[in-house]
A and B are shown apart, each in its own frame.
Chain A
Amino acid sequence: MTDAFEERITLETKDLSKRFDQKTIFNKLNLKIRYGKSIGIMGPSGTGKSVLLKCILGLMDYDGEILYKGKVLVKRNRKKVFDSFGMLFQGGALFDSLTIWQNIAFKLLNNEKKISKKDALKTVIGLLHSVGLNENVCNLMPEELSGGMQKRVALARAIADKPSLLFFDEPTTGLDPSTSFSINQLISSIVKKEGITSLVISHDPESIRKICDEVIFIENGSIGWQGSVSEMEKSNHKLLEDYLSPKKIT
Chain B
Amino acid sequence: MNWNKKENLFFTLLSSIGTNVLLLAAQAGDLILFILRALVRSTLSPFFIKEHLRQIVVIGWASLPVVGLTAFFTGGALALQIYSGGSRLNAESAVPSIVAIGFLRELGPVLCGLMVAGRVSAAIAAELATMKVTEQLDALITLGTDPMKYLVAPRIIITTLFLPLLTAIGNVIGIYGGYLISTERLGFNPHLYLESTFKYIETGDIISSLTKAAVFGLIISSMGCFFGFKASKGALGVGKATTNAVVSASILILASNYMLTEVMFKQ
Contacts and interface: CB of A to CB of B under 8 A. Distances in A.
Contacts of A97: 54, 127
Given A86-B142, A95-B140, 7 more contacts: A90-B135, A91-B134, A93-B134, A93-B139, A107-B143, A107-B144, A110-B48
B135 A110 contact: no
A85 to B, nearest CB: 6
A83 interface: yes
A110 B141 contact: no
B6 to A, nearest CB: 33
A59 interface: yes
Interface in A89-126: 89-91, 93-97, 106-107, 110-111
A82 B136 contact: no
B135 A89 contact: yes
A58 B142 CA distance: 9
B87 interface: no
Interface in A10-47: none
B149 to A, nearest CB: 10
Interface of A: 54, 57-59, 79, 82-83, 85-87, 89-91, 93-97, 106-107, 110-111, 157, 167
A93 B144 contact: no
A134 to B, nearest CB: 24
Interface string B128-155: 0011001110111111111000100000
A93 B135 contact: yes
Nearest to B143: A107
A110 B46 contact: yes
Nearest to A81: B144
A116 B99 CA distance: 54
A93 B138 contact: yes
A82 B146 CA distance: 11
Nearest to A78: B141
Interface residues on B, range: 10 to 19
B139 A59 contact: no
A57 B143 contact: no
User: B127, B134, B140 — which one has the most chain A CB atoms within 10 A of its CB?
Assistant: B134
Chain A's interface: helix, strand, loop or mixed, by majority? loop
Contacts of A91: 134-135
* Best-buried of A91, A93, A107 by chain B (most CB within 10 Å): A93
29 contacts: A54-B138, A58-B141, A59-B138, A59-B141, A82-B142, A82-B144, A83-B144, A85-B142, A87-B139, A89-B135, A89-B139, A90-B135, A91-B134, A93-B135, A93-B136, A94-B136, A94-B139, A95-B136, A95-B139, A96-B130, A96-B134, A97-B54, A97-B127, A110-B46, A110-B143, A110-B144, A111-B143, A111-B144, A157-B143
A85 B134 CA distance: 20
Contact of B145 (A54, A93, A110): A110
Contacts of B146: 79
Nearest to A89: B135
Listed residue (A54, A86, A91) with the most chain B CB atoms within 10 angstroms of its CB? A91
Contacts of B127: 97
Contacts of A167: 142
Interface in B103-144: 127, 130-131, 134-136, 138-144
Nearest to B127: A97
Nearest to B150: A110
A107 B145 CA distance: 8
Contacts of A86: 142
B154 to A, nearest CB: 12
A95 B138 CA distance: 11
A47 to B, nearest CB: 18
A107 B143 CA distance: 6
A57 B141 contact: yes
